[in-house]
Structure 1
Amino acid sequence: MTRTPDLLTFGESMVSLRSAGPLSAGGGLSMHVAGAESNVAVGVARLGHRVSWSGVVGADPHGEFIVRQLRSEGIQVLNRVDPGRSTGVMFLEQRTADISRAYYYRTGSAGSTFSRKDVDRAFSGGARVLHLTGITPALSKESREAVEYAAARADGEGMVVSLDVNYRGKLWSRDAAREVLAPLARHARIVVASDDELALVASAPDGGEGGEGRDGTGHPDAAEVRMANRLLDLGVEEVVVKRGASGAGVHTAAGRWEVPAVPVTSIDTVGAGDAFTAGYLSALLDGLDVEGRLHRGAVAGAFAVSTSGDWEGLPHAGELLLLANTPGGSTQR
C-alpha cells in the first residue's frame, strides 16, 4: 500500500549545462538537473521524508536524465512525457567568481504545458504539504491556471500550502508577477520570499515596492513588518523572509524570529534559497517549532552555498550537525 507523501511539488525541471568560465570562450560543460521545485524535492527527500514531484518532460534524452536523477534521490516522479515538445535547457555561466548568469531555452518547452489534468493526477496520492513557486505560473497561461487550481484545491482539502515567490525577471515583469502571485498567496499558510520579493505578494505601506527589507542594523524595516502583517491578516500563518548572507526571519501572529546565516566558505550560491526552503519545510514536517525550522533552513542553505551544484551538496539527515561539529578546513577521519 502506497503511503501518503509528506510533500508534493510540481514544476518544470530542465537540463542545466554549466560552464566554469565565460560561455563565449568555449570549454567544457557539465550536465545537471535544474528546477526550483525539484531542488526542494531533493532537499526534503534527503532529510528523510516521502516526496512526490510532478512535471512534464520531452521524449528526449534530457527528459530521461531528469527522471532518472530525481528517482535516484528516492523521489516519487509523477511525470508526463510530451512527444511533441522538447525538455527545457538552460546554460549557467560562471562569469566571474561572484557572478553567475543563466540563459534559458525553455519557451514552448514540454514543462510549460503542465495543466489542471496533471494537477489532478499529482493529487491522487494526497500530501501533507503542497509546495508551489512563482516560477511555474510564469511559464504559460496553462501552467498559471494549473497553479491557481492546485493552490485553491489544496487549501480547500486542508493541505498546508507553501508558496515561494521565486521571482524570475527573465520570465515576466514585476507587475505581471504581482497580479498573479498576490491572490495566490491568500491560499498559502507559508509564504517564502527574499526581502526584495515580499512586495510582489503584499503591497508596501505606500503602495509601492517597499524598501530593501532591512534597516541599517540588518533587522527588518518598517515596510517589511507592515507587508508581513498584511499577509498575516489575510490568513497566512508564517511569512518567511530570506536575507542571503544576512540570514533569515519569520513573521507570525505570535511574534518574529531571526536567524543569522551559518558561516561557511561560499563557492556557489545557485539553489541556496531552495535549500533553505527545503530545510524549513522538512523541519515543519518533523514538528519543530519556528526557531527550529529557521535554524535548519539556515544550515541547509549553508550546505548549498559551500558546495557546487543546484542540489548536489544538500545534506542528508545524519549530516545536519556536520557544519557545527567539524572545524572548517578539516577532514573527518
Structure 2
Amino acid sequence: MNFLIVGEPLICFNPTENGALRFVSQFKKTIGGAELNVAIGLSRLEMDVTYISAVGNDALGDEIIHFIKSEGIDSKHVLRSNEHTTSLYIKEIMNESNINSYFYRKPSATEILNEKHFEEFKPSLFFMTGIFPALSCYHLDLTRNLMKSMKEKNVTIAFDVNVRRKLWSVEEMQSAFKMLFPYIDILFIGDDEAELLFGIANFEELVDFLTVFNISEIVMKQGKDGAIVKASNQIFSAKPKPLKTIDTVGAGDAFAAGYLYQWAQNSSIENRVHWGNKLAGYVISTLGDNEGLPTLIQLNRNTINR
C-alpha cells in the first residue's frame, strides 16, 4: 500500500506558555501542516508515503525538506520556488479549549504545482484536505482536476474537510465541496463542520444529505466524543479514553492517519475508528502538531507493557 498526499507544509511557532500572544515572548519552532501531519502519522506506522508540495527557496524551506526526509517520507517531489517564501504560522494558546492560529502564507509556494507533477503516480490512496483548495481559485481548480485524474485511475480518494474560515467564506466552501464530493471515497468531517456547512448536526441526517454524492465511507469526527462512521451499510461509533489535553491542534490529522492506516490493513470499521481515536489521544497529550504521533514500535511496546 502506498499513499500520495498533497498539501502545504508550514513552519510553526508554538508558545512556551499559555496566554495572549502579545504577552508571550518565547516560542518553540516546529513544522506542521494538516496534510503533512497525516503523512508523518502514516510514515511512523511504516507506510509508504509520497508527499507533493512546494516551499520557498529559503532557510525555512531547507528545514522543512530536511524534516520530511528525516520522517522517512519521499520528499523528491517537494518543489522549491524563488518567487515565494515558505509559509508559517504562530499559535496562541489561551487554554486547552481556546487555541488560535495566525497564518502567513500569501501567496503560497504551492501555486507552482500543476497536474504534470502528478501524472506518474497511481497510488493506493490519494489524500487531500479542504485547506489546499481554499488557498486560491487556482488551487481549487487543481484539486478538482487531480481528483478527476485519480478517479479515472481507480485510485481511492480520501478527503478531510478541514474548514479554514480565514481562507474562504461558508458559501465558497459549500460550492467547492459539493463540486469535490462526487470524487471522494472516504470523507472526514467534524460535527461542527457539518453544522457550519450544511446546518446538520445529526449523523443520520448528514448521511442522508450526502447520499447523492455516493461516498463510500463517511467519518464524522466528534472531538472528545470520538467518531461515528457509516461504511458498507454499517454504522459504528466509539469514544476515546479520557486524557489530559495539552494541545488539540493536529488531533484530527492524527485521527485520519490512524483510520487510514487500518484501512490499508483492510481492517474492520471498528479498528479504524479505535486507531483513529488512539492516535488522536497521543497528539492531544503533547504540545505541537505532530510531535506526539507514535511509531509502530512505540505502539507495540505500549501494548505489551499495559
Equivalence for 2:243: 264
Which of the numbers 304, 318, 333 marks the counterpart of 2:297?
318
Corresponding position of 1:217: none
Residue in structure 2 matched with residue 127 of structure 1 by the alignment = 123
TM-score, normalised with respect to structure 2: 0.93
Once residues 263 and 323 of structure 1 are traced to their aligned partners in structure 2, the CA distance between those partners, rounded to angstroms, is: 17
Q: CA deviation at 1:229?
A: 2.8
Cα root mean square deviation, aligned: 1.8
- Structure 2 residue 160 is matched with structure 1 residue 161: no
* Conserved 8 A contact 2:96-2:248: no
What SS does structure 2 have at the residue aligned with 1:280?
helix
Pairwise CA distance, 1:30:
1.1
Looking at structure 1, the residues matched to 207 and 185 of structure 2 have their Cα atoms a distance apart, in angstroms, of 13
Of the three residues 234, 249, 252, the one matched with 2:213 is 234
Q: Identify if the C-alpha distance between structure 1 residues 233 and 26 changes in structure 2 by more than 3 Å, giving closer, same or farther.
A: closer
CA apart distance, 1:96 = 3.0
Deviations 1:19-50 (A, max 9, x none): 12332124211111120000000001111110
> Which segment is superposed worse, 43-52 or 19-28?
19-28
Q: Where does structure 2 lack aligned partners over 5 or more consecutive residues?
A: none
Give, in whole Å, the separation in 2 of the partners of 1:35 and 1:51: 16
Are 1:58 and 1:87, in contact at CA under 8 Å, matched by a contact in 2? Answer: yes
Offset at residue 286 of structure 1 (A): 1.2
Counterparts of 1:110 and 1:233, CA distance in 2: 35
Tell me the percent identity.
29
Q: Which residue of 1 aligns with 2:256?
A: 277
Cα distance, 1:126 vs structure 2: 2.3
Residue aligned with 1:300, SS? helix
1:151-230 paired onto structure 2 within 5 Å: 151-198=147-194, 203=198, 209-210=199-200, 213=201, 221=202, 224-230=203-209
Question: Of residues 144, 153, 171 in structure 2, which corresponds to 1:148?
Answer: 144
Judged with a 3 Å threshold, the aligned counterparts in structure 2 of structure 1 residues 312 and 285 are, in CA distance, closer, same or farther, namely same
Cα gap change, 1:234/1:109 in structure 2, threshold over 3 Å: closer, same or farther? closer
Kept in 2, the 8 Å contact 1:232–1:252? The answer is no
Q: Residues 116 and 149 of structure 1 are in contact (CA less than 8 Å); yes or no, is this contact kept in structure 2?
A: no
The alpha-carbon distance between structure 1 residues 97 and 133, as it changes in their structure 2 partners (threshold 3 A), is closer
- Change in CA separation of 1:303 and 1:322 when aligned onto 2, cut-off 3 Å: farther
Size of the aligned set, in residue pairs, is 303
Match for 1:296 among 270, 275, 278?
275
CA contact (8 A) 2:250 2:289 kept: yes
- Structure of higher RCO (CA pairs closer than 8 Å, 6+ residues apart): 2
Which residue in 2 is equivalent to 1:308? Answer: 287
The structure whose residues are more often helix, as a share, is 2
Give the distance between the partners of 2:285 and 2:245, measured in 1 at CA: 5
- 1:11 and 1:114 in contact (8 A); partners too: no
Kindly indicate whether residue 132 of structure 2 is the aligned counterpart of residue 136 of structure 1.
yes
Matching residue's letter, 1:66 = I
Please, which runs of 5 or more residues in structure 1 have no aligned partner? 204-208, 214-220, 328-333
Q: Residues 322 and 200 from structure 1, CA distance in 2 versus in 1: closer, same or farther, beyond 3 angstroms?
A: farther
- Runs of 4+ that moved beyond 4 A: 321-327
Tell me how far 1:279 sits from its aligned partner: 0.4
CA deviation string 1:118-177 (max 9, x = no partner): xx3234132100001100011012211111111111111101000100001111111111
* Residue 51 (structure 1) shift: 0.2
Post-superposition shift, 1:95?
2.3
